[in-house]
Amino acid sequence: MSVSTQPSTRRRKRRSGALSPPWLFAAPALLVYAAVVLYPSIAGVVYAFTDWSGIGDMSFVGLANFQAMLGDEQALGSIVNTLLITVAIVVVQNGVGLLLALGVHARIKSQTLLRVIFFAPVVVSPVMVAFLWKYVYNPAPGAGLNGLLAVVGLPSQDWLGDPSLALWSIVGMVVWQNAGYSMVIFLAGLEGVPAELHEASMIDGASTVQRFRFVTWPLLAPALTINLMLSTIGGLKLFDQVFAATGGGPGYATETLSTVLYKQAFVFGKFGYSTAVALVLALFVAAVSFIQLYYLRSREVAQ
């Protein structure tokens, strides 16, 4: 009996010893992650229920910060703006990205150059893009975009100063920068569509539109899922372009949840209230993302 148990004991020791080095190598990264991500996240949840001003002591106030949000016109308006921006970005960015992907997927000599040109804005800093588009949106007659309007005989517009135009001007800026990212993901999906399916559909007499509708589009479901998820999350937490271009103005016309929590923390010193806004934003993004992912995954399975 002792002879038979010794090999198994040695095997167990060998297995446990083989498992320990990976954990030892991962431990420093896990400690850094806990210190940089987990601890601030947990602390933020705690601060959301306090009146902390960023300096000195704090006291527990329960749900007072969340009740204050319900009566804060700026916070409620920012929720509406955030939803409008997100819906517009998701629809327009992915629509433009799909059209670009279909265009550069065609067998043309300049497809490589066009891919580089369309993707180039993605690698530019969002703040730099905002300052670039502030020049494009220059309200002076004959400057920037207004110069093009003057050529076709249309009046000049105050793109970032008019409350009715500012929000959609921000959307145009974001779509211009990120459409190339959506294009790359759709392009990867298009490259994965077997050529045999298109050849078979052509033999059956399917038109170009029918081939896209019944062959290409169903096989793009995974790429569509990724693009919708990324653009939705990006729209819900949009901050850089808005803050650099308009600062949330004019008035509260372009205020988003991200700009509200920034101002409440670093302008008004209400860190407790700002973390409550951040907690609402995080929960909202998580809920929308999970619902969207569940629906899109079920759609992929159905197809």
Mean pLDDT value of segment 149-169: 93
Of residues 157 and 107, more confidence is placed in 157
Q: For 43, how many CA atoms within 13 A lie in the half-sphere containing its CB? A: 11
Query: What is the structure's pLDDT at 195?
Result: 84
Name the pLDDT band for 303 (thresholds 50, 70, 90).
Answer: low
Percent of the chain at pLDDT > 90 equals 60
Query: What is the structure's pLDDT at 292?
Result: 87
Percent of the chain at pLDDT > 70 equals 92
Mean pLDDT value of segment 25-39: 90
Name the pLDDT band for 10 (thresholds 50, 70, 90).
Answer: low
| Residue 248 · residue 254 · CB < 8 Å | yes
Mean pLDDT value of segment 208-212: 88
Query: What is the structure's pLDDT at 255?
Result: 95
Query: What is the structure's pLDDT at 63?
Result: 92
Residue 5 has pLDDT above 70, yes or no: no
Reduced 3-state DSSP string for the chain: CHHHHHHHHHHHHHHHHHHHHHHHHHHHHHHHHHHHHHHHHHHHHHHCCECCCCCCCCCECCCHHHHHHHCCHHHHHHHHHHHHHHHHHHHHHHHHHHHHHHHHHCCCCCHHHHHHHHHHHHHCCHHHHHHHHHHHCCCCCCCCHHHHHHHCCCCCCCCCCCHHHHHHHHHHHHHHHHHHHHHHHHHHHHHCCCHHHHHHHHHCCCCHHHHHHHHHHHHCHHHHHHHHHHHHHHHHCCCHHHHHHCCCCCCCCCCCHHHHHHHHHHCCCCHHHHHHHHHHHHHHHHHHHHHHHHHHHHHHHHC
Mean pLDDT value of segment 198-209: 85
Pick the CATH number of 64-302 from 3.40.50.620, 1.10.10.10, 1.10.3720.10, 3.10.20.90: 1.10.3720.10
Mean pLDDT value of segment 244-252: 92
Residue 100 has pLDDT above 50, yes or no: yes
Query: What is the structure's pLDDT at 302?
Result: 60
Name the pLDDT band for 173 (thresholds 50, 70, 90).
Answer: very high
Query: What is the structure's pLDDT at 189?
Result: 93
Residue 261 has pLDDT above 60, yes or no: yes
